[in-house]
Amino acid sequence: MRHEDVGRRGTPGTTTGEVRGNALWGGGRRTLAVTLAALLVVAVALVAGRVQVAEASDADAYVSPGLLAEAAASPDGLFDVIVQARKGKKTDDVADEVTKVQKDEPGTGSKLKRKFISIAGTSATLTGKQLLKLADRSEIDSITRDSKVELTAYTNTQLWPQSAGVDTNWLSVPASLTYPAIAVVDSGVTPSLPTLSPRVIGSVNLKTYAGTSGAYGHGSLVASIAAGAAEDYTSAEPRAKIVSVKVLDGAGQGYKSDIIAACDWILQNKSTYNIRVANFSLNAGGESFRYDALDKAVESLWLNGVVVVVAAGNYAVEGAQSNVGYAPANDPFVITVGASDIANTASRADDFAAPWSAWGYTQDGFFKPEVAAPGRRMNGAVPNSANLLTQYPDRVVAPGYMWMSGTSFAAPVVSGIAASILADHPSWTPNQVKGAIMEKAVAPTGYASNGALGVGVVNGGGAAVEASGLANPNAGLNQFVSLNSATGRYEFDGNLWYTVASYDPAWNAASWSSASWSSASWSSASWSSASWSSASWSSASWSSASWANASWANTTDIE
């Protein structure tokens, strides 16, 4: 594999710093193929390290690895990108700059596509000449690839509700409470499925990728694991509502910018539908969370009242450390979920990590996942016309139901648990929900709480009913959060975090020093030492493995 080093704007083809690339397979019109966490097995193990950003003038923009060289080599070629503003600038400022370079350097097919709300930025299709010119504009902070997202999926024994501890919530959390909605950002949810009807209360189609038509089924299956109510297929929280946010086509493909648009839509409509949880069973190209537009968009959700649950990915090989660098799984705020194998028992004591479940450090030194949930042979509902049924006819377990495996199907277990917690504790913040889920997780026998299962396997009943709400795993990050008076929303200052973390390895001590973790059954000391590693962050090993030109085992079956 080849690694490309770039940092802030410099001479095309030269290196001014080291960052992790995000080109997975390449693709038409310079878009990036990216995989949904439901499917891929990556045939490479990566080691954590530090992202180094070179000193630069105020006019220099961060650009995705290799993108400047590609733009210089193809001045009339078209590039799908996401453009973000410097601190203090707005989305309209970025749109104006994009429009200016389009007028200065006219190009066929160039266009401004979306103006975002959750981040200060836009998506656009630019020619190589326009991209190079835009990178020199003082208002521009970063230009990153608008990755193409590719979805596929996987696996169920129906002992998983007991193993995850969610079955106790069906009775112990009263039905009379107000249950929130879970936004399923995916390939769409079929509202007429009996297990979900009539609790699919909203739907929007934000997909711009002109690909395969028809229902894929992945989104419906994810939703049914989170909130299905059918007999014999009862889900993590059968009383939760579902809002379908479609960003992927009938083959599970789409654009990263559409996922950011989904975050915009959720921000604008969360009060209308009481959306308190958003499930992202997908991964897109990787950048440091300080620059990645999707990471910033999910942070906007998190910091403004929406719990974000993300699948870790399925690219570990035989259980070895893979590291976690794809957005939004690499964002430190969100709950990243690995997949456990329940060993065909209801006990968590004998659970173990699925061998393909991704784990390890992000580009910025954060350990992922935080927790694991059952993710092998998960039965779920799909429409009869689903393309997944054609793809995997041998996985049908009953009319309208099939099994799949992957972290894509572990994530909605945690989304359902989050909905149960918020029904019982409607005033809790996303940080409190994350703290409750982590606090009450259970480490299987012999597991040290610093590997592929995170701190351990989720215990839904304990998290919803027994947790105190005092534990805050994001306490260290909160010192870098402030209210943006212009937008009225809270924002995280990644550059300030970077400055502090560079000289103070103990910046995150507040997250784990609280006595509130004393009730955890797992080793808080083990997790505290692993949760953020300055050694991993400063390691040069990140630069030796390319996320920009990875060689993938692109199979649709990991079982």
Tell me which amino acid residue 462 is: G
The span from the CA of 216 to the CA of 137, in Å, is 41
Residues taking part in catalysis: 186, 218, 408
The total of other beta-carbon atoms located within 10 Å of residue 221's CB is 34
The span from the CA of 344 to the CA of 5, in Å, is 45
Determine the 3-state secondary structure of 402 from DSSP.
strand
Residue 540 contacts residue 51 (beta carbons within 8 Å): no
Burial per residue of 436-461, b for 16 or more beta-carbon CB atoms within 10 angstroms, e otherwise: bbbbbbbbbeebebbbbbbbbbbbbb
Closest among 420, 414, 413, 459 to 173, alpha carbons compared? 420
Q: H-type helices in 167-255, by residue range?
A: 169-172, 218-227
Determine the 3-state secondary structure of 451 from DSSP.
strand
Q: H-type helices in 86-245, by residue range?
A: 91-104, 128-134, 160-163, 169-172, 218-227
The span from the CA of 474 to the CA of 24, in Å, is 30
Region class of 214: left (phi > 0), else alpha (psi between -120 and 50), else beta? left
First to last CA, the chain: 26
Determine the 3-state secondary structure of 183 from DSSP.
strand
Q: Which residue has 């992000």 as its token pair?
A: 362
